[in-house]
């Protein structure tokens, strides 16, 4: 149950107050979820690339850099590190031989699967501690947060 609700409702009356509370809460939740990662030796950028490839399939390094909002040289370092660990592979682009496509290896796909299961199990356990009306509020909020994350 939420115990500090009256204090929070005062702080979230303005857009600026809501933004501050959301920033702290989302950041804290993200840190808690990152702590559940099975392979903490991967950087956040490397993990993000693995998840992007799992979600969208093979991509060029340039498309990955654009998707992850990083510079191409940074993506080159990330891709090289993941390839050295056997988590991704590079192949020649079938239509443009000057480019490469990056895709997950079986090991990379398995790491993403284990990571997702572990983090979702942790979060599902936390959700079981909430009242039904709190879960319903989070269902609505999840849709809004997803929209915000895409803007």
Per-residue pLDDT in tens (0 to 9) along the chain, 151 residues: 445 555 667 777 888 988 998 999 999 998 898 888 877 788 889 999 999 999 999 999 999 999 999 999 999 999 999 999 999 999 998 888 888 999 999 999 999 999 999 999 999 999 999 999 999 999 999 999 999 888 8
Query: Does one domain contain both 23 and 96?
Result: no
Query: Does one domain contain both 28 and 46?
Result: no
State which H helix or E strand residue 101 sits in.
strand 100-104
CA-wise closest residue to 126 among 36, 11, 45: 36
Query: Does one domain contain both 4 and 64?
Result: no
Query: Does one domain contain both 71 and 56?
Result: yes
Domain that holds residue 87: 40-150
pLDDT at position 2 is 46
Query: Does one domain contain both 57 and 112?
Result: yes
Query: Does one domain contain both 122 and 135?
Result: yes
CATH code, domain carrying 88: 1.10.10.10
Query: Does one domain contain both 23 and 95?
Result: no
Query: Does one domain contain both 51 and 24?
Result: no
Query: Does one domain contain both 24 and 46?
Result: no
Q: Structurally, how many domains does the chain consist of?
A: 2
Query: Does one domain contain both 44 and 27?
Result: no
Query: Does one domain contain both 85 and 111?
Result: yes
pLDDT at position 1 is 45
48, burial (CB in 10 Å: exposed 0-12, middle 13-18, buried 19+): middle
Query: Does one domain contain both 94 and 110?
Result: yes
Distances (CA, A) of 149 to 9, 14, 138, 146: 23, 20, 16, 5
Q: Helix (H, G, I), strand (E, B), or coil: what is residue 70?
A: coil
pLDDT at position 6 is 58
């Amino acid at each position: 149950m939420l115990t500090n609700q009256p204090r929070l409702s005062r702080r979230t009356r303005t857009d600026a107050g809501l933004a501050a509370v959301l920033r702290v809460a989302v950041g804290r939740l993200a840190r808690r979820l990152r702590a559940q990662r099975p392979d903490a030796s991967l950087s956040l950028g490397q993990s993000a690339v693995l998840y992007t490839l799992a979600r969208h399939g093979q991509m060029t390094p340039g498309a990955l850099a654009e998707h992850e909002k990083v510079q191409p040289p940074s993506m080159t370092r990330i891709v090289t590190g993941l390839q050295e660990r056997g988590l991704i592979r590079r192949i020649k682009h079938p239509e443009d031989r000057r480019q490469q496509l990056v895709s997950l290896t079986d090991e990379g796909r398995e790491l993403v699967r284990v990571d997702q299961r572990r983090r979702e199990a942790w979060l599902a356990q936390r959700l079981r501690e909430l009242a039904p009306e709190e879960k319903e509020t989070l269902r609505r909020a999840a849709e809004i947060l997803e929209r915000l994350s895409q803007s």
